[in-house]
């Protein structure tokens, strides 16, 4: 098959290349883009291009390679041109619309669901356009009368008095008579809220009362309202003759053994087996109470019972194991009948007597 190639024309003093061709810059213009190139007669001395076509930008506008006449220095609305002094452009989901009656005035013109409007005449409520009315504002996608209604989280609710305020998204309350507790209206002025059960609340004055809460890790934390001077144990009032014990997000009251007791000591193996004590005279060590006067001592920063325990270089260990006496070897203990301690190192299966 015979293949022919266009031979470039010879350049002159007034010629330039346009693709593989030449053109006379005094009478012609070259427009080129990814679609190709085109040589056209010079239009009123202008060399601007719109796609592959020459244009006069004084009275023509190029938008996405489309020429609109009699616009000049206008603006583009997708592929259409418009005069922003007389018209405006809005888009909705990439669908563009030109309004011929609403000019583009900065700060006054806006778009609502693809429609152009002036804020002095209309208002947009969640993409719904309304004519302005005195005393009305947006509430969600609707208008509401601010003198007779409230907008509560996007819902219009009628006022019961001029002082009504929102309580949640579906109710109102009177602040000079009531308290709003998380969307629930309760009697009492400027009160605090105590959640006493599922979706139940009690309002109270923090100057006179308090809410004792049983904080829970695995469920809701409910409370009860008590006098301000009480001590709380969970949601209950702590009795004067008891101390409060918290274990695994549960609380219970432990009867005092003596009026001066101020601490609770619970056995490690039986955390519910507890007794009270006075920390000035005793201390609790692994669930056992030890007198500070007779058995109290410290190993490092920790108290221990010298009758049953021993301190090995800052570490506490039992004195015996299965009734067999143990001896310190640096920070550990060993059985001299079965083991050897040398330079702070314990060696098994070599009785100490054989090392002498």
Spatial separation of the C-alpha atoms in residues 18 and 9, rounded to whole Å? 10
Residue 195 scores a pLDDT above 80: yes
Q: What mean pLDDT value characterizes the chain? A: 88
pLDDT in tens, 294-345: 555 778 777 777 778 899 998 889 999 988 999 999 999 999 899 999 888 8
Tell me the average pLDDT across 167-196: 92
pLDDT value for 254: 93
Confidence of residue 25 (pLDDT cuts 50, 70, 90): confident
Q: Helix (H, G, I), strand (E, B), or coil: what is residue 353?
A: helix
Residue 7 scores a pLDDT above 60: no
> Phi, psi (5° rounding) for residue 166?
-70, 145
Spatial separation of the C-alpha atoms in residues 81 and 89, rounded to whole Å? 9
Q: Which residue has the higher pLDDT, 209 or 43?
A: 209
Q: What share of the chain is helix, strand, coil (3-state, %, to 5)?
A: 0, 50, 45
Encoded tokens for 163:
């002082």
pLDDT value for 46: 73
Confidence of residue 270 (pLDDT cuts 50, 70, 90): confident
Task: For 68-128, give the DSSP string.
Answer: EET--S-EEETTEEE-TTT-EEEEETTEEEEESSS---TTTEEEETTEEEETTTEEEETTE
What's the angle, vertex CA 241, arms to CA 238 and CA 245, rounded to 5? 50
Poorest-pLDDT segment among 104-118, 258-272, 288-302: 288-302
**Biggest CA-to-CA distance, the chain:** 121
pLDDT value for 180: 95
pLDDT in tens, 133-153: 999 999 999 999 999 999 999
- Measured CA to CA in angstroms, residue 261 lies from 156, 170, 291, 297, 304 at distances of 59, 52, 14, 21, 20
- Measured CA to CA in angstroms, residue 70 lies from 49, 61, 73, 221, 304 at distances of 16, 8, 9, 73, 100
Encoded tokens for 187:
């009697």
Tell me the average pLDDT across 14-41: 89
Spatial separation of the C-alpha atoms in residues 121 and 237, rounded to whole Å? 62
Task: For 28-60, give the DSSP string.
Answer: EEEEEETTEEEEEE-BTTB-EEETTEEE-TTTE
Spatial separation of the C-alpha atoms in residues 205 and 226, rounded to whole Å? 11
Confidence of residue 12 (pLDDT cuts 50, 70, 90): low
Percent of the chain with pLDDT over 90: 57
Domain map of the chain by residue range?
295-356
């Amino acid at each position: 098959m015979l293949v022919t190639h266009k031979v470039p024309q010879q350049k002159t003093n007034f010629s330039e290349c346009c693709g593989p061709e030449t053109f006379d810059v005094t009478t012609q213009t070259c427009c080129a883009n990814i679609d190709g190139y085109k040589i056209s007669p010079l239009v009123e001395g202008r060399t601007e291009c719109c796609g592959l076509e020459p244009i006069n930008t004084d009275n023509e506008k190029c938008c996405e390679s489309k020429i609109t006449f009699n616009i000049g220095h206008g603006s583009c609305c997708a592929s259409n041109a418009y005069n922003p002094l007389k018209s405006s452009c809005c888009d909705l989901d990439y669908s563009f619309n030109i309004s011929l009656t609403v000019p583009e005035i900065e700060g006054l013109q806006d778009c609502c669901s693809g429609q152009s409007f002036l804020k002095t005449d209309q208002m947009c409520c969640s993409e719904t356009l309304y004519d302005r009315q005195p005393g009305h504002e947006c509430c969600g996608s609707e208008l509401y009368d601010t003198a007779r209604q409230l907008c509560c989280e996007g819902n219009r609710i009628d006022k019961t008095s001029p002082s009504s305020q929102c309580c949640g998204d579906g109710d109102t309350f009177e602040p000079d008579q009531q308290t709003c507790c998380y969307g629930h209206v309760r009697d009492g002025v400027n009160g605090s809220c105590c959640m006493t059960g599922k979706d139940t609340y009690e309002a109270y004055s923090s100057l006179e009362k308090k809410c004792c809460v049983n904080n829970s890790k695995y469920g809701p934390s409910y409370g009860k309202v008590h006098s301000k001077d009480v001590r709380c144990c969970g949601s209950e009032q702590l009795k004067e003759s008891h101390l409060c014990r918290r274990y695994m997000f549960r609380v219970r009251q432990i009867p005092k053994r003596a009026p001066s007791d101020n601490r609770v000591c619970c056995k490690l193996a039986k955390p519910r087996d507890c007794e009270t004590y006075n920390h000035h005279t005793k201390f609790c060590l692994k669930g056992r109470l030890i007198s500070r006067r007779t058995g109290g001592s410290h190993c490092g920063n920790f108290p221990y019972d010298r009758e049953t325990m021993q301190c090995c270089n800052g570490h506490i260990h039992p004195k015996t194991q299965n009734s067999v006496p143990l001896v310190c070897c640096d920070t550990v203990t060993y059985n001299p009948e079965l083991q050897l301690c040398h330079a702070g190192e314990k060696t098994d299966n070599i009785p100490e007597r054989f090392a002498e």
